[in-house]
Amino acid sequence: MPSRRQILAQSAAVAAALAGAGLLPARAQSAWNKAAFDAKSIDDVLKALGMSRPVESKDLTLTAPDIAENGAVVPIAAATALPGAKTIAFLIEKNPTTLAGVFEFGDAVESSVATRVKMAQTSNVYAVALLGDGRALYAKKEVKVTLGGCGG
Amino acid sequence: MSDPMRIRAQAQGSGAIVRVLMSHEMETGLRKDAEGKTVPAWYITEVSAALNGKTVLTAHWGTAIAKNPFTQFTVKGAKAGDKITVSWVDNHGDKRTDEATVA
């Protein structure tokens, strides 16, 4: 069990790293990246996350259905075997807010994650992975949505 | 107080597959109720998972994560009997932490 002191030191280090990368608005206490979650386009999200110019890569796999009957629950998953891939973000191009979620992996977790998202309409879904050396990779897939998942 | 999470951690190979089902409305803040009023946003913003007390995964979520969120990930080196703890915080500041044992 790490002590409370260690945990605090760790989260402070993470926050400092994020602040150093210009990710944190000055007043934010947590590392939750409001700018990224408010962003309405792929470019804005990537900018807010510090993932510059991602390149398409076969080493990152994005699993999503071709057709989602219910946009309220769309299962998606991303995985990569590349070492040092510590962050994976899911972006949905035509949602009201583009960024769905960001997952950060510690050393003891494989760089693979599955979750379920909401999609307002048929759109491209992107998984973007940030590697240890600062490179960013992406994989995309179009998911057709028959019934949107954002109320209405 | 929210309902407990359902966590299943299954040892497989050299690690354990962890599946988590949380119970949360995940309102986007865009939906309108029957009277046409906007339902305020209410969603989980931060999730973290720990193996035997050591944080192994953190996630930041937006409103596009589905209602009653599901997440699956693989913890390397976890074996039967290890403790997996998952906690979340939502945008109202509510929290919940639940624990499961790797089987």
- pLDDT attached to residue A97: 86
A26 has a pLDDT exceeding 50: no
Task: Tell me the chain B residues in contact with residue A100 when contact means C-beta distances shorter than 8 Å.
Answer: 61-62, 64-65
Contact yes or no for B31/B38 (Cβ under 8 A):
yes
Position A77 confidence tier, pLDDT thresholds 50, 70, 90: very high
Q: Which residues pair with B55 in a beta bridge?
A: B50
Domains contained in chain A, number: 2
Residues of A with CB under 8 A from a CB of B: 1-2, 7, 10, 30-33, 37, 72-75, 77, 90, 92, 95-97, 99-110, 112-119, 149-152
B50 has a pLDDT exceeding 50: yes
Residues A22 and A45 in one domain: no
Residues A60 and A91 in one domain: yes
A132 has a pLDDT exceeding 60: yes
Whole-angstrom distance, CA of residue A70 vs CA of residue A118 = 9
Position A28 confidence tier, pLDDT thresholds 50, 70, 90: very low
- pLDDT attached to residue A41: 82
- pLDDT attached to residue A151: 52
Q: What pTM was estimated for this model as a whole? A: 0.79
Position B20 confidence tier, pLDDT thresholds 50, 70, 90: very high
- Domain of residue A6 covers 1-32
Residues A104 and A88 in one domain: yes
Closest-approach residue (CA) in chain A for B58: A104
Helix H or strand E encompassing A126 = strand A123-130
Q: What is the CATH number of the domain that holds A64?
A: 2.60.40.2470
Is A113 in contact with B72 (Cβ distance < 8 A)? Answer: yes
Residues A55 and A86 in one domain: yes
Q: Please compute the mean of the pLDDT values over residues A7-14 and round it to a whole number.
A: 62
Residues A85 and A27 in one domain: no
Choosing among 2.60.40.10, 3.90.1310.10, 2.40.50.140, 3.60.70.12, the CATH entry for B6-101 is: 2.60.40.10
**Taking the domains of chain B in order of start, what are their residue ranges?**
6-101
Candidates A110, A9, A76; CA nearest to B64 is A76
Residues A25 and A44 in one domain: no
Residues A72 and A130 in one domain: yes
